[in-house]
Structure 1
Amino acid sequence: MRVEARAPRRGSVVWRYFGDARNMLLGPPLLVLQVAHPVVGAGVLQHSNYREEPWQRLVRTYLSLSTVIYGGQRGAERETARLRRLHETIRGVDDQGRRYHALHPEAYLWVHATLVQGGVDAHRTFGRPLTDAQTAEYYADMRQVGLLLGLREHHLPADWASFRAYYDERVLNRLEDNQAVWDVIDSVRHLKKPLAVIPSFVWRPVGAGAGRLAHLVLVGALPEVLRDRLGLTWSPEQERRLRRFARVVRGTMALVPPPLRTAGGRMAARIVTARADRRERHDPPAGHDRAPARLPAG
Structure 2
Amino acid sequence: MPVEAQAPRRGSVVWRYFGDARNMLLGPPLLVLQVAHPVVGAGVLQHSNYKQEPWQRLIRTYLSLSTMIYGGQRGAERETARLRRLHETIKGVDDQGRRYHALNPEAYLWVHATLVQGGVDAHRVFGRPLTDAQITEYYADMRQVGLLLGLREHHLPADWASFRAYYDERVLNRLENNQAVWDVIDSVRNLKKPLPVIPDLLWRPFGSAAGRLAHLVTVGALPDVMRDRLGLTWSSDQERRLRRFARLVRITMSLVIPPLRIAGGITAARITMALADRRERQARKNQPNRPGPSPANALTD
Does 2:278 correspond to 1:278? yes
Equivalent residues in 2 for 1:54-65, closer than 5 Å: 54-65=54-65
TM-score of the superposed pair, with normalisation by structure 2: 0.97
**Shift in Å at residue 287 of structure 1?**
7.6
Does 2:296 correspond to 1:295? no
Conserved? CA contact 2:34–2:114, under 8 Å: yes
Equivalent residues in 2 for 1:179-258, closer than 5 Å: 179-258=179-258
State the partner residue of 1:149.
149
Distance in 2 (alpha carbons) for counterparts of 1:263 and 1:119: 16
Conserved? CA contact 1:280–1:287, under 8 Å: no
Name the amino acid aligned to 1:40.
V
Name the amino acid aligned to 1:195.
L
State the partner residue of 1:74.
74
State the partner residue of 2:7.
7
State the partner residue of 1:48.
48
Conserved? CA contact 2:152–2:298, under 8 Å: no
Distance in 2 (alpha carbons) for counterparts of 1:53 and 1:282: 28
State the partner residue of 2:139.
139
**Shift in Å at residue 51 of structure 1?**
0.2
State the partner residue of 1:263.
263
SS of the residue 2:100 aligns to: strand
Give deviations 1:249-272, integer Å, cap 9, x for gaps. Answer: 000000000000000000000000
State the partner residue of 1:103.
103
Name the amino acid aligned to 2:218.
L
Conserved? CA contact 2:150–2:296, under 8 Å: no
**Shift in Å at residue 292 of structure 1?**
2.7
**Shift in Å at residue 289 of structure 1?**
3.8
State the partner residue of 1:173.
173
Give deviations 1:212-245, integer Å, cap 9, x for gaps. Answer: 0000000000000000000000000000000000
Distance in 1 (alpha carbons) for counterparts of 2:290 and 2:297: 14
Give deviations 1:113-146, integer Å, cap 9, x for gaps. Answer: 0000000000000000000000000000000000
**Shift in Å at residue 282 of structure 1?**
1.9
SS of the residue 1:44 aligns to: helix
Give every structure 1 segment of 4 or more consecutive aligned residues whose post-TM-superposition deviation is greater than 3 Å.
284-287
**Shift in Å at residue 286 of structure 1?**
6.5
Conserved? CA contact 1:81–1:292, under 8 Å: yes
SS of the residue 1:92 aligns to: strand
Distance change (3 Å), C-alpha of 1:139 and 1:289: closer
Sequence identity of aligned pairs in percent?
Answer: 83
Name the amino acid aligned to 2:175.
L
Distance in 1 (alpha carbons) for counterparts of 2:195 and 2:134: 39
Aligned length: 297
Distance in 2 (alpha carbons) for counterparts of 1:50 and 1:294: 27
**Shift in Å at residue 281 of structure 1?**
1.6
SS of the residue 2:58 aligns to: helix
Distance in 2 (alpha carbons) for counterparts of 1:193 and 1:5: 40
Distance in 2 (alpha carbons) for counterparts of 1:124 and 1:294: 33
Structure 2 stretches lacking a partner, 5+ long: none
Cα root mean square deviation, aligned: 1.2
Name the amino acid aligned to 2:123.
H
Distance in 1 (alpha carbons) for counterparts of 2:103 and 2:163: 20
SS of the residue 1:65 aligns to: helix
